[in-house]
Amino acid sequence: MDHSIELFGKTLSNPLMPASGCFAFGQEAATYQDLGLWGALISKTVTLEPRLGNPPPRVVETPSGLLNAIGLQNPGIDRFLCDQLPFMRTHHPAVIVNIAGNSVDDYVQLCERLQDQDIFAIELNLSCPNVKKGGMALGTSPELIRQVTAACKGVVDFPLIAKLTPNVTDIVSCALAAQEGGADAVSLVNTFLGMAIDLNTRRPVLQNNTGGLSGPCIKPLALRMVAQVYQAVDIPIIGLGGIQTGRDVLEFMLAGARVVQIGSANFADVHLAHRVLEEVQESREKLQISSWDTWIGGLNYWKS
């Protein structure tokens, strides 16, 4: 069965992508899997300058999930363009670069550096603190989301994806702001803010005190947000949050996601892409899903 799907006017081999931050730049994964199994590759977040990230401990397992406070460790845009991007391009025709900054100008500069590169799209990580707004996370303000997206849209020809934080009271207004700013798609959702505590030390386990919660425990929350936003926006949704099986993929697509990203599940299964594609095949045959377009957003709600 053909699992290909159209996104931004181009055809991807399937709707699966590794979520940013859970796959690095694919170099380690390439030693044990064919990176071409993914519909597209997404880079770890790239910033203007290199970042060492937060001090350890910065990762801890929780029931049905994973808390991380890595701190966007990355080599910076210069090294990325010289070392990591060429590697990704040789292993996959569709590369999405995830970027982050502490101000609107940071995002614009990164987009300008990427404008002449052979990439598929840019994903804006909008969960970072805006230093010019007193540390407020960019993604918690619809107005800042609109500003960042519009500013980036003005300097690149690539499709722009706004990756939104779920740590807001109204995810729909944030998604609409991204659409108004010119985003070509939204990624829903990034990690939820959480904490783990060590009773012996009476301290948070993570030295950052809090971290981003991912894994199957957030799936119901992410599904709800995808379904809500699908009813409000006109641009594609990229769904993520706790996906680890083929059935999870189909659930997100039924809720309204056009394609999906798989994150922390990659740490538990090095052959995840191959397995999930097989499970997608089995589920499509069982449910007689002949076309993605007849399935995406086809959720039947109970009448109130």
The string of pLDDT tens digits covering residues 259-273 is 999 999 999 999 999
Residue 213: the pLDDT is 96
pLDDT means per 10 residues, the chain with 304 residues, are: 97 98 95 96 97 95 95 96 98 97 95 97 82 63 96 97 96 98 97 96 96 96 98 98 98 98 95 97 97 96 88
CB atoms within 10 A of CB 36: 12
Residue 127: the pLDDT is 79
What is the spatial distance between Cα 67 and Cα 239, in angstroms, rounded to a whole number?
19
Classify 17 as helix, strand or coil.
strand
Segments of the chain assigned E as strands? 5-7, 10-12, 16-18, 41-42, 59-62, 65-68, 95-99, 121-125, 129-130, 136-137, 160-163, 185-188, 192-194, 197-198, 203-204, 211-214, 237-239, 259-262
Residue 5: the pLDDT is 98
Q: Can you give the C-alpha Rg of the chain in angstroms?
A: 18
What is the spatial distance between Cα 34 and Cα 281, in angstroms, rounded to a whole number?
18
C-alpha closest to that of 152 among 97, 102, 104: 104
Q: Are the C-beta atoms of 107 and 152 separated by less than 8 Å?
A: yes
Instruction: Identify whether 97 is preceded by a cis peptide bond (ω within 30 of 0).
Output: no
Residue 132: the pLDDT is 55
The tally of CA atoms less than 13 A away on the side-chain side of residue 219 is 22
What is the spatial distance between Cα 229 and Cα 250, in angstroms, rounded to a whole number?
17
Residue 283: the pLDDT is 97
What is the spatial distance between Cα 225 and Cα 35, in angstroms, rounded to a whole number?
29
Helical spans, DSSP H, in 53-157: 77-79, 85-91, 104-114, 142-153
Q: Are the C-beta atoms of 113 and 81 separated by less than 8 Å?
A: yes
**Judging by DSSP bridges, how do beta strands 185-188 and 160-163 pair with one another?**
parallel
The string of pLDDT tens digits covering residues 62-106 is 999 999 999 999 999 999 999 999 999 999 999 999 999 989 999
What is the spatial distance between Cα 100 and Cα 123, in angstroms, rounded to a whole number?
9
Give me the active site residues, please.
128
Residue 113: the pLDDT is 98
Residue 242: the pLDDT is 97
Q: Are the C-beta atoms of 69 and 195 separated by less than 8 Å?
A: no
Q: Are the C-beta atoms of 260 and 249 separated by less than 8 Å?
A: yes
Q: Are the C-beta atoms of 226 and 5 separated by less than 8 Å?
A: no
Q: Is 107 exposed, middle or buried (0-12, 13-18, 19+ CB in 10 A)?
A: buried
Residue 170 neighbours by CB under 8 Å, 6+ apart: none
What is the spatial distance between Cα 86 and Cα 80, in angstroms, rounded to a whole number?
9
What is the spatial distance between Cα 137 and Cα 124, in angstroms, rounded to a whole number?
13
